[in-house]
Amino acid sequence: METHKGDNQGNYGSSAPNLVNRQTKANDTVINVNGIKIGGEEIVIIAGPCAVENREQLLETAKAVYSGGANILRGGAYKPRTSPYSFQGLGEEGLKYLSEARKETGLPVVTEVMDTRQMELVCNYTDIIQIGSRSMHNFPLLKEAGKCRKPVLFKRGLMATIDEYLNAAEYILSEGNDQVVLCERGIRTFETYTRNTLDLCAIPVLKRMSHLPVIVDPSHGTGHSWLVPAMTKAAIAAGADGIMVEVHNKPLDALSDGQQSLYPEEFVQLVKDIEKIAQAIGRKLYHHKPSLV
């Protein structure tokens, strides 16, 4: 392939072979999560509440996103918060609710792990491990995620360059786990109107530099629920392999990130809209088989 002067093909300043590099592996990596393929022709939708608050809230929201077209359920049992006095999650109780929601809906679940001491417990409950943006440079945690051998949803750090982000992902792959999904979730800039600045350029750049699938989190990328539909559609048009959006049965009562969470009915409309975008670019949404009890 002819390249332009200054094109970065992914050396990341290292003389060692980079496992995330497309020069190391030319073909796209496709990650199989209970039959759901992330990184293939079909676009995957991950949805659910920011935090697992109680059993009723999670089960109601899980059934709503399932019916609305979600393929994977998200929900935080452990929550990294700016203030130590904010809701920190339910811990193992939350993990048990996620497991129950999986049985009720058939949806695989993804939840965040924040500490190496939590890794074994979280791996026992979840289908996908999430490494949040605040943990992008927690290299011991990344190594443990590499050893866990479960798919890892790996978010870009708040102020990380793409080179720094891919170098961090290398810590996971270097431990033998190549089942990594990259997630653009917005970076911190001088702009204060939105929670973060969603870097849509990162989608084609990451897919050019790496073989790993790329998804986008427009909820954290904007911080405003009214912006989520527009940025979701833009992300699909830019080539994202999936999206992860926050949906809550009662956003106004949410203990975490209610202002950026969609109502279930808004999520249903969003899925209908992005299906049209997917078709326009020659892709389609992944449609699960009915399994809701």
How confident is the model over 16-41, as pLDDT tens digits?
459 999 999 999 999 999 999 999 99
Residue 204, token pair as written in the block: 């084609």
Cβ proximity of 245 and 58 under 8 Å: no
Residue 14 has pLDDT above 80, yes or no: no
What is the model's pLDDT at position 81? 72
Residue 132 has pLDDT above 70, yes or no: yes
In the chain, where are the structural domains located? Answer: 31-280
Beta-carbon count within 10 A of 4 CB: 5
- Please name the residues in contact with 58: beta carbons below 8 A apart, sequence gap of 6 or more: 48, 49, 52, 75, 94, 97, 98, 101
Confidence of residue 7 (pLDDT cuts 50, 70, 90): low
Closest CA to 218 of 206, 231, 199, 205: 231
Residue 102 has pLDDT above 70, yes or no: yes
Closest CA to 178 of 14, 75, 41, 32: 32
How confident is the model over 176-224, as pLDDT tens digits?
999 999 999 999 999 999 999 999 999 999 999 999 999 999 999 999 9
Work out the mean pLDDT of the chain and round it to a whole number.
Answer: 92
What is the model's pLDDT at position 290? 53
What span, in angstroms and rounded, lies between the C-alpha atoms of 124 and 73? 16
What is the model's pLDDT at position 149? 85
Structure-model confidence comparison of residues 77 and 6, the more confident one: 77
Residue 5 has pLDDT above 50, yes or no: no
Residue 41, token pair as written in the block: 């022709």
pLDDT average, residue stretch 39-54: 96
What span, in angstroms and rounded, lies between the C-alpha atoms of 243 and 251? 19
Cβ proximity of 113 and 122 under 8 Å: yes
Least confident of 13-17, 18-22, 97-101, 127-131: 13-17
Least confident of 7-16, 58-67, 205-214: 7-16
Beta pairing class for 31-33 and 36-38? antiparallel
What is the model's pLDDT at position 209? 96
What is the model's pLDDT at position 198? 98
Residue 67 has pLDDT above 50, yes or no: yes
What span, in angstroms and rounded, lies between the C-alpha atoms of 255 and 285? 31
Residue 13 has pLDDT above 70, yes or no: no
- Please name the residues in contact with 48: beta carbons below 8 A apart, sequence gap of 6 or more: 58, 61, 62, 65, 70, 73, 74, 75, 246, 247
What span, in angstroms and rounded, lies between the C-alpha atoms of 263 and 257? 13
Cβ proximity of 241 and 213 under 8 Å: yes
* CATH 3.40.50.10490 holds for 31-280: no
What span, in angstroms and rounded, lies between the C-alpha atoms of 268 and 115? 34
